[in-house]
Amino acid sequence: KAGVTQTPRYLIKTRGQQVTLSCSPISGHRSVSWYQQTPGQGLQFLFEYFSETQRNKGNFPGRFSGRQFSNSRSEMNVSTLELGDSALYLCASSGTGESYNEQFFGPGTRLTVL
């Protein structure tokens, strides 16, 4: 099975712009979670989607949003970028049954905000 894929791998944006990141989960996985990783704050949960519904959200401002499509692919959007949004954004997918809660991560999208 192919793993979790994320596009693009690298992005450079300027303050005030917006950005959209994409995540394709492992085939058959219906849950997609997003995390932000920074040197200062570590790994922090952004949100989780299951069957196109956001089930859980972390403590991030409303500038961070996401969605999930019927094929389980997910996107996250960050509007009005700030310098502090520079981070590695990781997405993870998980299946059902015994593998529920077992998350498989993609390689991440490295976002740099100038």
Partner 1 sequence: AQSVTQPDIHITVSEGASLELRCNYSYGATPYLFWYVQSPGQGLQLLLKYFSGDTLVQGIKGFEAEFKRSQSSFNLRKPSVHWSDAAEYFCAVVSSGGYNKLIFGAGTRLAVHP
Instruction: Point out which residues bind partner 1 (CB under 8 A).
Output: 4, 6, 31, 33, 35, 42-45, 48, 50, 55-56, 58, 90, 92, 94, 100-108, 110
Instruction: Tell me whether residue 67 or residue 110 sits nearer to partner 1 (CB atom).
Output: 110
Distance in Å, CB of 16 to partner 1, minimum: 27
Distance in Å, CB of 105 to partner 1, minimum: 4
Instruction: Tell me whether residue 4 or residue 87 sits nearer to partner 1 (CB atom).
Output: 4
Buried (b) or exposed (e) across 44-82, using 16+ Cβ within 10 A?
eebbbbbeeeeeeeeebeeebbbebeeebbbbbebeebe
Distance in Å, CB of 35 to partner 1, minimum: 8
Instruction: Tell me whether residue 18 or residue 99 sits nearer to partner 1 (CB atom).
Output: 99
Report the candidate in 88, 96, 76 with the shortest Cα–Cα distance to residue 26.
Answer: 96
Instruction: Tell me whether residue 9 or residue 63 sits nearer to partner 1 (CB atom).
Output: 9
